[in-house]
Amino acid sequence: MADVEVWVADAVALADRAEPLLSAAEAERSRRYVSAAARRLFVLSRALQRLLGSARLGVPADRVEIGRRCRLCTAGGDHGKPYLEGAPGLDYSVSHAGRLVLLAWSPGCRVGVDVEWLDRRLDPALLGARTLAAAEQAGLDALPAADRPAEFLRLWTRKEAAVKLAGHGLTVPLAAVRVDGPTARLAEPPPGWPAEPLSLTALPVPDGYTAALATTASPRLALREVIDLRNGVELGPPAAGRATRGLPVEPGTTN
Ligand SMILES: CC(C)(COP(=O)(O)OP(=O)(O)OC[C@H]1O[C@@H](n2cnc3c(N)ncnc32)[C@H](O)[C@@H]1OP(=O)(O)O)[C@@H](O)C(=O)NCCC(=O)NCCS
């Protein structure tokens, strides 16, 4: 077992307050977003990483260094799984969609998180190609057409959480990641893939979203809603109740 904390934050409510916490480079990048919704997600994601890093490391948020580790290249730059400089034992993962930002971290195991907006406009007939293994596709096809988009996205988040845990991202074909109930396996794992079996956990997010957590140990989960950013991260009670409160999605914003 390992302790895992997951923070859920609403970008529409919090992004304005998050803005002053960004580094100069992040602020510059945020100004280049054309979509206001995508910009808010970026701003809140980076601010949350800084605030939680600040609390963990005991340094001001603007002095937190977020590193990125790419599994495929040594070119450096702003890509690959994020990590906090100075906190080597801590693994974390971020995901954003619609108006939600999720951040999962653990001092005891590797983590990956993914959230998706339940986009009901997905065409049930097109779901699964290149993403699902044959047995997963058969299971999906057996469902009523109206239920397929949500089930597809539920599977997708589980697979994407796994590839984000490992740091490979979508360079690993999602069809190769076999979801079997609460576990994910790869028949031929690429270099750097964890030796441990991966545990998958559905996260209770607001209506309109689906989210999954992948971990290399069975998680002892604390789910927290971020309610303010003024004095560091102010958290709501660690209960699914607050986090499952319905938040309207922003149509047309899938990430
Ligand atoms: C990681 C990836 C799956 C994210 O997918 P997405 O649905 O667009 O975005 P999500 O909202 O779920 O996640 C975004 C977060 O993933 C994290 N992330 C980026 N690359 C990652 C990786 N390789 N592993 C784990 N997490 C990663 C970042 O923290 C990012 O948030 P931030 O930029 O606000 O800090 C996708 O962008 C990807 O596969 N990238 C890797 C591509 C790659 O490695 N190419 C080779 C380059 S040499």
**Cα(21) to centroid(ligand 1), Å:** 21
**Cα(33) to centroid(ligand 1), Å:** 17
Give the span between the Cα atoms of 22 and 170, in whole angstroms: 27
Q: Say yes or no to pLDDT of 244 above 60.
A: no
- Ligand 1, atom 23, lies closest to the CA of 80
What pLDDT does 231 receive? Answer: 64
pLDDT, tens digit (0-9, with 9 covering 90-100), for 166-203:
999 999 999 999 998 899 999 899 999 999 999 999 99
Q: Say yes or no to pLDDT of 31 above 90.
A: yes
**Cα angle for residues 135, 129, 175 (degrees, 5° grid):** 55
Give the span between the Cα atoms of 184 and 28, in whole angstroms: 38
What pLDDT does 233 receive? Answer: 66
pLDDT, tens digit (0-9, with 9 covering 90-100), for 90-126:
999 999 999 999 999 999 999 999 999 997 677 767 7
Higher-pLDDT residue of 134 and 77 is 134
With a 6 A CB cut-off, is 30 part of the ligand 1 pocket?
Answer: no
For residue 78, give the amino acid letter.
D
With a 6 A CB cut-off, is 160 part of the ligand 1 pocket?
Answer: yes
What pLDDT does 232 receive? Answer: 65
With a 6 A CB cut-off, is 93 part of the ligand 1 pocket?
Answer: yes
Q: Say yes or no to pLDDT of 51 above 80.
A: yes
According to DSSP, the residues that pair with 9 across neighbouring strands are 101
Match 């779901």 to its residue by tokens: 127
Match 């999906």 to its residue by tokens: 140
- Ligand 1, atom 30, lies closest to the CA of 94
What pLDDT does 226 receive? Answer: 87
What pLDDT does 71 receive? Answer: 79
- Ligand 1, atom 14, lies closest to the CA of 95
pTM: 0.91
What pLDDT does 235 receive? Answer: 63
**Cα(142) to centroid(ligand 1), Å:** 31
Q: Say yes or no to pLDDT of 254 above 80.
A: no
What pLDDT does 126 receive? Answer: 74
With a 6 A CB cut-off, is 69 part of the ligand 1 pocket?
Answer: no
Q: Say yes or no to pLDDT of 17 above 90.
A: no
With a 6 A CB cut-off, is 167 part of the ligand 1 pocket?
Answer: yes
What pLDDT does 249 receive? Answer: 40
Give percent above pLDDT 70 in the chain: 88
Backbone angles phi, psi at 227, to 5 degrees: -105, -20
- Ligand 1, atom 8, lies closest to the CA of 255
With a 6 A CB cut-off, is 157 part of the ligand 1 pocket?
Answer: no
What are the tokens at 161?
Answer: 């959480």
With a 6 A CB cut-off, is 53 part of the ligand 1 pocket?
Answer: no
With a 6 A CB cut-off, is 224 part of the ligand 1 pocket?
Answer: no
- Ligand 1, atom 41, lies closest to the CA of 169
- Ligand 1, atom 4, lies closest to the CA of 169
Backbone angles phi, psi at 222, to 5 degrees: -120, 120
What pLDDT does 189 receive? Answer: 93
Q: Say yes or no to pLDDT of 39 above 90.
A: yes
Q: Say yes or no to pLDDT of 242 above 60.
A: no
In 3D, which of 223, 170, 162 has the Cα closest to residue 196? 162
Give the span between the Cα atoms of 91 and 105, in whole angstroms: 6
User: Could you say which architecture CATH assigns to the domain 2-243?
Assistant: Alpha-Beta Complex (3.90)
pLDDT, tens digit (0-9, with 9 covering 90-100), for 119-157:
767 776 777 778 898 899 999 999 998 899 999 999 999
